[in-house]
Amino acid sequence: MNPKIWLSSPHMGDHELAYVQEAFATNWIAPLGPHVNGFEQDLQTFLGEGVEVAALSSGTAALHLALVILGVRAGDEVICQSMTFAASANPIVYQGAAPIFVDSESDTWNMCPQFLELAITDRIRLGKKPKAIIVVHLYGMPAQIEEIMYVSRKYDIPVIEDAAEALGSTYGGRQVGTFGDIAIFSFNGNKIITTSGGGALVSANIDYVAKARFLATQALDPAPHYQHSHIGYNYRMSNVCAGIGRGQMEVLPQRVLQRRHNFNYYLQAFQDVPEIRFGIEPSPHYYSNHWLTVMQVEGDRFTREALRLSLTADNIDCRPLWKPMHLQPVFEGAPYYGYDTCETLFNTGLCLPSGSNLTDEDLLRVVSIIRALYYPAELIHLTKSI
């Protein structure tokens, strides 16, 4: 059996362990501590645009707090991109609110601004104005964020950017996560950088970030005894995990280039296969971290499943795209505004191994398996210089 090639595995730099050892040496083994402050500062500097950052226990926790801070309550409606991971939508239900799903456009595979506006006007017509919009920068590709922000301002509905997969991606030279009213990032083990588990809430509104820190530490009112006037959560990041994050921030620019290298490698390796298409940046405005390289398998020679099974048989980790939320059993009956763009992407899309720690030999192995299907007579003498 060939060694396993992972979809996206953790990739440590040289200094993470030193930061963790420092946490041990100083006995800062707690949520909060100097590494948490340092990690927040590192992220703030990286993102720019005057944003503040609260480091949290996960991206899901950050999304939950974003909804609490924006005042989403039981019975409210929140618009969410359908094509995403369930963690984008679940916190809507934690609040007792109802998700309204919106289709993607075919350029970035993210929320379609036209269907967004249709959803908003229809919900208003039905008597309920949505309380928030959750837009996702899926697989690292920036959404059409300018158009989405325009619609959001037109109807005065706040935007939460789910940038869990998109740290280091930019739109018009500006980091994603700095456009919306609030944004979230994830540092789960499979993301472009990891703290083993963790997340962040980001906003240029310092009151929002202060509120996130307050709510994430059990909502302790200032008093010598335990006094509470709000329902709190235990959502802060641990100082040990933040130490990993500080080391990872040092290598983030490198990680972006490594992921983009994977993408370009695959793009070139399949440029002569007409049935294989990639999610490319639609214009120079878009700069994707290419967290995962995603391809669409078209035509009727081979299905996406045929490719997936061939790779799996060779011990190569790969998977279909996220299954749209409006097709998930748990969200059955939720309103959906759109056509079949995200459903088609789900049916034809395959995520290829994309870790920043993959070697060109690993990439060549992936490419060779797929090329052998389309060109069985081809002598596999692809070189590393592809």
Ligand X SMILES: *Cc1c(COP(=O)(O)O)cnc(C)c1O
What are the residues binding ligand X (CB under 6 A)? 58-60, 84-85, 87-88, 136, 162, 164-165, 186, 188, 199
Minimum distance, C-beta of residue 385 to ligand X, in the bound complex (Å): 33
Q: Which is nearer to ligand X, 43 or 136 (CB)?
A: 136
Minimum distance, C-beta of residue 60 to ligand X, in the bound complex (Å): 3
Nearest-CA neighbor of 263 among 173, 333, 169? 169
Residue nearest to ligand X (CB): 59
163, 200 Cβ separation under 8 angstroms: no
Q: Which is nearer to ligand X, 56 or 276 (CB)?
A: 56
Q: Which is nearer to ligand X, 188 or 341 (CB)?
A: 188
Q: Which is nearer to ligand X, 65 or 367 (CB)?
A: 65
Minimum distance, C-beta of residue 74 to ligand X, in the bound complex (Å): 22
Residue position matching structure tokens 């919306």: 180
Q: Which is nearer to ligand X, 139 or 270 (CB)?
A: 139
Minimum distance, C-beta of residue 56 to ligand X, in the bound complex (Å): 9
Minimum distance, C-beta of residue 197 to ligand X, in the bound complex (Å): 6
| Separation between Cα atoms, residue 201 and residue 324, nearest integer Å | 24
Minimum distance, C-beta of residue 365 to ligand X, in the bound complex (Å): 26
| Separation between Cα atoms, residue 275 and residue 173, nearest integer Å | 32
Q: Which is nearer to ligand X, 82 or 273 (CB)?
A: 82
Q: Which is nearer to ligand X, 84 or 288 (CB)?
A: 84
Minimum distance, C-beta of residue 88 to ligand X, in the bound complex (Å): 5
Q: Which is nearer to ligand X, 188 or 296 (CB)?
A: 188
Minimum distance, C-beta of residue 172 to ligand X, in the bound complex (Å): 22
